[in-house]
Structure 1
């Protein structure tokens, strides 16, 4: 047990490093995908309009692989930073793509329309890629935190506007400023959104407690800001309900001696129900 405890800082550091590396890999993959799809748009438009295509490369640097197919040299570089398509009939890009193997002066002239189509095709493919991912998110959904999808109050800041009118953890908010709410944060039908967008000195908050529906009028809090800072928004200083789950129990502590373990859900403390981890602090 002591050996495991002694190695905890090292394990934590390694996990943090691994997490950073994973994030960097994600960024690198998405960056390369965006650039390659963008260049693919230029490539396909150039093929469609009959332009001379010299090279199409994924990544830069010394080629790891290259092959000429139908007069176009395809390559895979050694530096994973995007890609390119060499179109000598357009603006020269020798610094990025390398010196052209053909005499540009001998290539046929292309019309302004062809140039516009090829130039627009890249951004168009980038837009289509974004719409593709947006469609996936719309169809599959995206992760939503427990606190974002509830209207139950988890914590009320002491001496806050909400506490002054009697709102308590466990209260389920139904309406804010006369508008129904279905979640705590986000746009449109959320508690935060309707508080920020409310007008008047006080806000009507309808909530349910122990099966009874009640309404209170709350004077929202708005922090004072100076001229150069971003203006603050109206708040009630409440937090959404979140299940308090024990992440880790240190050895030889009162919690460990009492039998608490990682993953345990804390339902209450000192005979008081808990609706948010911050209430334990």
Structure 2
């Protein structure tokens, strides 16, 4: 219910304000608006106010503003001066551009609200590297401090991760880091066109985390094999079947490989050494593979976290400035993504649809209002940029038509416009199919 509610609220906010941008500028230029609809399909709620019918429709994948237009049917002679297609191209450009620009402005405002309540910054420092991962193969080590990706400086963990993931399929990714000893080196990730790159695109994970785990028990689930073996929070792991445990990740990997097997675990508590036995539960994942699980989690390295995580509260002016920077950064990343998508330098696995958006909406809402507000801001940026792409059927395609009309002094031929619309519809249908396919594969693991 939380996921559904968070998703519906996101659609209502982002789509309604996008369409309201079109509506306001249309009314500013005295264009007659006959319908304002949130959602597609037959409206289940309608209310007439003035010349405009306000509607809610059942398919929550968009909305529209319907204006008087002679190309769409008969228009009363008294309404001709207020028809959209009878306006100067500059006015039509302003009306069409207002929707995407409203989304970008909304993103700035949402980020400003969130940042004003405080910012938890995660520095781009590597705390943990998983064995056999893309990051491990590239030579990343705990303690690395990421400074730049392909020559572009990064300021926080999110920027670093986004830049790396976006460039995985474009060729070698050169990541400039400063090691824990202070040496400047370049870690090279070269996994383009591999299964590992495709999996990373789906999971948004290349095998490294900003936080560091101690080789100590942080949490024990009730009635789990770990709890039945008597393990408690704070216990330090020493060895399994007589072999020392190098770190928590190595211990976890050993447990995963030992489903149903009896293990002897040595640990330290209160300065004394103890031994216990346990048998990991056998768990089957979505790919029908069996792995072991004992219901125990690691203790976080709080000293390291204090260095990596930084919390501060900016004033209103600083929050707005940071919001503009963050929106600009995501606009650049989004445009770069679409550019790489066109050239084939980024995997189609990165494309997400409404199912993934709903899932993330629910997860961010569960974390807290700030996470949810920043999620809305990010989706608003994506919606704004997507609609500005020069594809017929999107706002950007209409902007392209009206720009040509303004330059030529007359509109493009009806035949050419219709051909462009058919191509645009085909492209968007293909994009939607890929998005739904990715959603389903993620949902099913």
SS at structure 2 position matched to 1:108? helix
Q: How far 1:44 sits from its partner (Å)?
A: 0.7
CA distance in 2, matches of 1:149, 1:176: 8
Distance 1:187 1:117, change over 3 A: same
* Pairing of 1:167-186 with structure 2 (within 5 A): 172=143, 186=159
- The answer as to whether partners of 2:127 and 2:212 remain within 8 angstroms in 1 is no
1:87-166, aligned counterparts within 5 Å?
87-89=67-69, 92=72, 103-109=75-81, 110-112=86-88, 113-136=90-113, 138-140=115-117, 150-152=125-127
Deviation at 1:257, TM superposition (A): 3.2
Gaps of 5+ in 2: 149-153, 162-172, 198-206, 254-445
| 1:248 corresponding residue in structure 2 | 221
Which of 17, 33, 47 is matched with 1:53 structurally? Answer: 33
Task: Give the alignment's TM-score, normalised by structure 1.
Answer: 0.53
Is 1:39 equivalent to 2:19 in the alignment? yes
**1:118-162 residue CA offsets vs partner (Å, 9 max, x unmatched):** 2222222122223333434554567777xx7655566677x9796
Equivalents in 2 of 1:161, 1:58: separation in Å? 48
Q: Distance in 2 between matches of 1:82 and 1:39?
A: 9
TM-score by length of 2: 0.36
For residues 7-36 of structure 1, give each alpha carbon's deviation from its aligned partner in whole angstroms, at most 9, with x where no partner exists. Answer: xxxxxxxxxxxxxx7556544443443222
SS at match of 2:108: helix
**Residues 242 and 277, structure 1, Cα contact 8 Å, conserved in 2:** no
Q: Is the 8 A contact 2:15 2:38 kept in 1?
A: no
Matched, 1:187 2:160: yes
Distance in 2 (CA, whole Å) between partners of 1:122 and 1:182 is: 31
For 1:226 and 1:67, how far apart are their aligned partners in 2?
53
Q: Deviations 1:45-101 (Å, cap 9, x if unpaired)? A: 111111222222333444443332223222333443433222113753xxxxxxx7x
What is the number of residues matched between the two proteins? 220
- In structure 2, relative to structure 1, the CA distance for the partners of 1:122 and 1:161 (3 Å cut) is closer
Which structure is higher in helix share? Answer: 2
Cα 1:266–1:143 change in 2 (3 A) is farther
Gaps in structure 1 of 5+ consecutive residues = 1-20, 93-99, 189-195, 209-213, 231-236
Equivalent in the alignment of 1:86? 66
Question: 2:49 matched to which residue of 1?
Answer: 69
Q: Is the 8 A contact 1:151 1:174 kept in 2?
A: yes
Task: Choose which of 233, 238, 246 in structure 2 pairs with 1:269.
Answer: 238
Higher relative CO (Cα under 8 Å, sequence separation at least 6) belongs to 2
